[in-house]
Structure 1
Amino acid sequence: MWSVDPRRYTDYTDQDYCDQKGMEVYGNEYAMHFPHHEWPAARDKKVSQVHAQIKEMGGQMGAYNGWERANWFAKDGDDTSEEATHTWGRSGPWQQRIQEECEAVRDGVGILDLPGFSRFNLTGEGAAEFLRGIVTGGLPKVGRMNLVYFSDTRGRILTEMSCVRHGEDHFTMITAGSAQWHDFEILKKALPAGLSLTDHTTEFATMIVSGPKSRELFVGLSDADLSLGWLTHQSATVAGKPAFLARVSYAGELGWEVHCANADQAEIYAALIQGGAKPFGMYALNSLRIEKGYRTWKGDLSTDFTMLEGGLGRFIKLDKPQDFPGKAAIQNELQQGSRKTFATMIVDAGDADAPYMSCIWKDGEIVGETTSGDWGYRVNASIALGTLRTDLAVSGTEVEIEIYGKKCRAVVQENKPLWDPANERLRA
Structure 2
Amino acid sequence: MKTHARAVVVGGGAVGVSIAYHLAKAGWDTVLLERDELTAGSTWHAAGLLPLFNMSYAVSHIHDYSVKFYKTLEAETGLNPGFSVVGNLRMAQTDARMDEYALYASTAESVGIPVEWLTPAQIKERWPLVRTEDLKGAIFHPTDGYINPADVTQAMAKGARQRGAAIYRKVQVDGFERRGGEWVVKGRKMIEKGGNLVPGEETFEIVCEHVVTATGNHAQRTAAMVGCYIPAIPVEHQYIVTEPDPALVEWRKAGNPEHPVLRDADAKWYVREERGGWILGPYERGAPACFKFGVPDSFRADLFPLDLERIEEEYMSMIHRIPSTETVGLKDDFNGPICYTPDGNPLVGPAPGVENFWFAEGFSFGVTAAGGTGHYLAQLMTEGEAEIDMWSLDPRRFGRWVNREYAAKKNEEAYEHVYILHHPDEERPACRPLRTAPCYDRMKARGAQFGQVNGWERPNYFAPQGFDDHAARSFRRGGWWPYAVEEAKAIRGAAGMIDATAFAKHRIKGPGATAFLDWLTCNKLPRVGRINLTYALTEAGTIRTEATIVRLAPDDYYVITAGAAQEYDHDFFVKQAEKKRDEFGWIEVQDVTTQYGVFALAGPNSRDILRELIVDADPASALTNKAFPWLSAREIDLGMVRTLAIRVAYTGELGWELHHPIEMQNHLFDRLMEAGEKHGLKLVGARAQNWLRQEKSYRAFGSDLGRDATPLEAGLHRFVDMEKDFRGKAAMQSLGIRSSCVTLLIDGPEDADPWGREALLKDGEKVGRLTSGGYSVAFGKSIGIGYVRPDLAAPGTKLQVRMLRRLWDAEVVEESPYDPKNERIRKDG
The alignment's TM-score, normalised by the length of structure 1, stands at 0.95
Aligned partners of 1:113 and 1:208 also within 8 Å: yes
Determine the C-alpha separation between the residues in 1 that align with 2:414 and 2:732. Answer: 41
Residues 35-84 of structure 1 show CA distances to partners (whole Å, capped at 9, x for unaligned) of: 2221111211100001001000000010011100111111257x424133
The structure 2 residue matched to 1:129, chosen from 490, 515, 523, is 515
The one-letter code matched in structure 2 to 1:42 is: C
Determine the C-alpha separation between the residues in 1 that align with 2:721 and 2:771. Answer: 25
Residues 210-237 of structure 1 show CA distances to partners (whole Å, capped at 9, x for unaligned) of: 1111111111101362121111111111
1:226 lines up with 2:628 in the alignment: no
Q: CA deviation at 1:291?
A: 0.7
Determine the C-alpha separation between the residues in 1 that align with 2:729 and 2:412. Answer: 46
Residue equivalent to 1:32: 421
Residue equivalent to 1:96: 482
The one-letter code matched in structure 2 to 1:343 is: V
- Spell out the pairing of 1:260-275 with structure 2 (5 A cutoff): 260-275=660-675
The one-letter code matched in structure 1 to 2:623 is: L
Aligned partners of 1:110 and 1:279 also within 8 Å: yes
- Spell out the pairing of 1:199-348 with structure 2 (5 A cutoff): 199-223=591-615, 225-227=622-624, 228-276=628-676, 277-320=681-724, 322=725, 324-333=726-735, 337-348=736-747
Determine the C-alpha separation between the residues in 2 that align with 1:293 and 1:378. Answer: 13
Q: CA deviation at 1:152?
A: 1.3
1:83 lines up with 2:489 in the alignment: no
Determine the C-alpha separation between the residues in 2 that align with 1:46 and 1:116. Answer: 9
Aligned partners of 1:239 and 1:267 also within 8 Å: no
Residue equivalent to 2:820: 421
- Spell out the pairing of 1:108-147 with structure 2 (5 A cutoff): 108-147=494-533
Aligned partners of 1:349 and 1:408 also within 8 Å: yes
- Spell out the pairing of 1:151-166 with structure 2 (5 A cutoff): 151-166=537-552
Determine the C-alpha separation between the residues in 1 that align with 2:398 and 2:488. Answer: 31
Determine the C-alpha separation between the residues in 2 that align with 1:158 and 1:37. Answer: 27
The one-letter code matched in structure 2 to 1:366 is: K
The one-letter code matched in structure 1 to 2:656 is: W
Determine the C-alpha separation between the residues in 2 that align with 1:239 and 1:377. Answer: 34
Larger relative contact order (Cα-Cα within 8 Å, sequence gap ≥ 6): 1
Residue equivalent to 2:454: 65
Q: CA deviation at 1:313?
A: 1.6
Determine the C-alpha separation between the residues in 1 that align with 2:659 and 2:504. Answer: 12
- Spell out the pairing of 1:153-192 with structure 2 (5 A cutoff): 153-191=539-577, 192=580
Aligned partners of 1:12 and 1:45 also within 8 Å: no
Aligned partners of 1:120 and 1:200 also within 8 Å: yes
Residue equivalent to 2:369: none
Aligned partners of 1:309 and 1:339 also within 8 Å: yes
DSSP 3-state at the match of 2:629: coil
Residue equivalent to 1:11: 400
Q: CA deviation at 1:357?
A: 3.1
Q: CA deviation at 1:356?
A: 2.8
The one-letter code matched in structure 2 to 1:240 is: M
The one-letter code matched in structure 1 to 2:663 is: A
Aligned partners of 1:47 and 1:115 also within 8 Å: no
Residues paired across the two proteins, number: 419
1:197 lines up with 2:589 in the alignment: yes
Q: CA deviation at 1:332?
A: 2.7
Determine the C-alpha separation between the residues in 1 that align with 2:817 and 2:686. Answer: 20
Determine the C-alpha separation between the residues in 2 that align with 1:12 and 1:198. Answer: 16
DSSP 3-state at the match of 2:770: strand
Aligned partners of 2:458 and 2:502 also within 8 Å: no
The one-letter code matched in structure 1 to 2:754 is: A
Q: CA deviation at 1:401?
A: 1.2
The structure 1 residue matched to 2:793, chosen from 365, 390, 393, is 393
Determine the C-alpha separation between the residues in 2 that align with 1:420 and 1:404. Answer: 31
Residues 15-41 of structure 1 show CA distances to partners (whole Å, capped at 9, x for unaligned) of: 222122122111121222112221111
Q: Which runs of 5+ in 2 are unaligned?
A: 1-389, 617-621
The one-letter code matched in structure 2 to 1:3 is: S
Q: Which runs of 5+ in 1 are unaligned?
A: none
Residues 155-194 of structure 1 show CA distances to partners (whole Å, capped at 9, x for unaligned) of: 1111110010011111111111111111112221111331
The alignment's TM-score, normalised by the length of structure 2, stands at 0.50
Determine the C-alpha separation between the residues in 2 that align with 1:57 and 1:121. Answer: 33
DSSP 3-state at the match of 1:244: strand
Percent identity of paired positions between Structure 1 and Structure 2: 37
Determine the C-alpha separation between the residues in 2 that align with 1:25 and 1:150. Answer: 32
Aligned partners of 2:461 and 2:684 also within 8 Å: yes
1:81–1:249 CA distance, 2 compared to 1 (3 A): closer
